[in-house]
Structure 1
Amino acid sequence: MNDLKQRLLNIQANDWEIPQEIDTYQLALEAMENIGSLDPVLRDDLILTILWKMITDNMLSKEQLRNLLELSLSKKHLFCEVNADSVFNRAFTVLIVRIIISYHNNIEDFLTEEEIVKVYTDVIKYIRSEEDTRGYVAEKGWAHAIAHGADALRALALCNSMEADHLQEILEVIKEKVCISSSVYTHMESERLVTAATNVIGRNILSEQGIINWVRSFEDIEKPSSLPQSQYFLENTLRFIRALYFRLKYKKMPANIINQLENTSHNLNSYFNNVNPA
């Protein structure tokens, strides 16, 4: 058994209490070194949990958190070389970014505005470049890169440093990832993207008309003309629009936005019925 895995299993068995003799920062670095492991128990159950605990329980100094964030955004992790299995490294690294940003938002705002904008720029770049849309992978566990990327956007949207142009770009990236035609999202990716969009809209920084225009723009995207791509595109897009409709309606967001979501859903569904007649 992997030595790190055994040590983390021992910590897990002790209710996640880390022995005092263990250097938490060195443990964090070792966890990051193995965050792309193909062992789902090590990667998801152990490494992700221990890093989350160390970050949120103030076991790492602010300088160590900065170093961990810089490491996460490096070519070793978020921008690592793309191959069949490197998605696990990227997908779980972006969750570490999300955890650190959430710590900044909710516990202690230790990052400067410039640092937040740098994280935002890198996360946007990463999500735009991520092409692996797999959710759960047999024997290897969760990849879920798009959902995890959405979680990072969700946290960034709540940063005080995010201004209107940043929030608008987050919405545009969400739209790009929703409207894919290479596959159908089947592991709740749409809901995670909806949460990110809801956080953007809930900031009340973007104008109501701007959000309405963004919703309407889903109708204007060039749609694939052949099957199964047209089916994939419409299923992904309709699922997102409808999920966002119910989320915003529940949160009592402005009626004009909700009405536009209803209209866009109807128009996309009409297009679907025209290209796929019964």
Structure 2
Amino acid sequence: MSGSYWEAVRETGLSVPSDRPLDELTAELTRMLGDPDPEIREALAHPALSTWIAQGVYDDLLSGLGDGMAAGLVVGLGDADSDSVFRRSYSALVLGACIARDNERPLVPGGKVLEWGDRVATWLLRERDLRGFVVGKGWAHAVAHGADALATLASSPHVATPELTVILDVVADRVLAPVAAAYGQGEPDRLARATMAVLRRDLVPLTVVEPWVARIGASTAVPAPDAGNAEAFLRALYLQLALGPHPPEVRADLLLTLVEVLRRRNADLRRR
């Protein structure tokens, strides 16, 4: 359908059109998630799908919709600097919306949510296109969108201590992965937000979290993109832990740990 059709849908407040079957509309919106035009992808497709999910339009179809979004995570996976990243990145956002809907009310089996989480984690660690904003095409932001999906997953009642620990490991692996250029468009903050979602569950003990922080803190401190990512992440996590709402039980002890790690990584500041 033409863009004017979906513009008209947007003008109605994203009400579900009655002139076409839902499966046909969904298939078209799914294709639109990969469109390089941000007006189609960011302003029409993603808002429509996310709104309909939140409104319960897909409650009886949520498992199939989530599976379709999970399939989108592998479209063109391995490419770098190609338009295929949009389909993967925005599929992650919509899959996160599916998980969020299930968090509100149980709609799919717990095993299905865990399967979706595994698909998101696998994709996020394999993703090679790490661009944030793409001039003329809008946001790609795969790392940020993946982190958002992990944050939602961390709040799932189907996720317990073992899965939360895996989420922390995925965050650390993404932070420490070699990159050609340091993250520069909020990715460390979004990864820290996912970490906070894990910590707020109060299910992962400090005996697990402290070595996890130490692993990230032990990354090389010489000027390098991946070292810069680790530093930016640790600072973001410290700030969110110190100032954010709903502090986790490990807050006080973990703040001390973060301060010590940051002190070691920034020893030159103490000599000035």
* Aligned length in residues: 263
Structure-2 residue corresponding to 1:189: 187
Q: 1:168 aligns with which of 165, 187, 191?
A: 165
Q: 1:4, CA displacement in angstroms?
A: 4.2
Structure-2 residue corresponding to 1:80: 75
Say yes or no: does 1:246 pair with 2:244: no
SS of the aligned residue for 1:73 comes to helix
Normalising to structure 1: TM-score of the pair? 0.88
User: CA RMSD of the aligned region, Å?
Assistant: 2.0
Q: CA contact under 8 A between 2:62 and 2:108: conserved in structure 1?
A: no
C-alpha distance after superposition, 1:87-123 (max 9, x if no partner): 11100000110000001102x2111121111111111
Structure-2 residue corresponding to 1:220: 218
Q: 1:187, CA displacement in angstroms?
A: 1.2
C-alpha distance after superposition, 1:61-96 (max 9, x if no partner): 42x22111111112xx11112332211110000011
Q: 1:5, CA displacement in angstroms?
A: 2.1
Q: Could you tell me how far apart the structure 1 residues matched to 2:89 and 2:169 are?
A: 20
The gaps in structure 1 that reach 5 residues or longer are: none
Structure-1 residue corresponding to 2:66: 69
Q: Could you tell me how far apart the structure 2 residues matched to 1:57 and 1:224 are?
A: 47
Q: Could you tell me how far apart the structure 2 residues matched to 1:61 and 1:153 are?
A: 21
Say yes or no: does 1:231 pair with 2:224: yes
Say yes or no: does 1:116 pair with 2:113: yes
Q: 1:263 to 1:224 in 2, by over 3 A?
A: closer
- Percent identical among aligned pairs is 25
Say yes or no: does 1:265 pair with 2:256: no
Q: CA contact under 8 A between 2:172 and 2:216: conserved in structure 1?
A: yes
Q: CA contact under 8 A between 1:238 and 1:269: conserved in structure 2?
A: no
Q: Could you tell me how far apart the structure 2 residues matched to 1:215 and 1:244 are?
A: 10
Q: 1:233, CA displacement in angstroms?
A: 2.4
Q: Could you tell me how far apart the structure 2 residues matched to 1:241 and 1:182 are?
A: 20
Q: 1:143, CA displacement in angstroms?
A: 0.2
Normalising to structure 2: TM-score of the pair? 0.90
The gaps in structure 2 that reach 5 residues or longer are: none
Q: 1:231, CA displacement in angstroms?
A: 3.0
Q: 1:224 to 1:194 in 2, by over 3 A?
A: closer
Q: CA contact under 8 A between 1:134 and 1:144: conserved in structure 2?
A: yes
C-alpha distance after superposition, 1:126-156 (max 9, x if no partner): 1111121100001111100000000110011
Structure-2 residue corresponding to 1:178: 175
Say yes or no: does 1:53 pair with 2:48: no
- Select between 197-206 and 7-16 the one with higher mean Cα deviation: 7-16
C-alpha distance after superposition, 1:204-249 (max 9, x if no partner): 111122111211111333x386xxxx33223211111111112112
**What residue identity is the alignment partner of 1:151?**
D
Which aligned runs of 4 or more in structure 1 are off by greater than 4 angstroms?
Answer: none
Q: Could you tell me how far apart the structure 1 residues matched to 2:11 and 2:55 are?
A: 18
Q: CA contact under 8 A between 2:217 and 2:230: conserved in structure 1?
A: no
Q: 1:151 aligns with which of 140, 148, 151?
A: 148
Output aligned runs, 1:126-141, within 5 Å: 126-141=123-138
Q: CA contact under 8 A between 1:216 and 1:264: conserved in structure 2?
A: yes
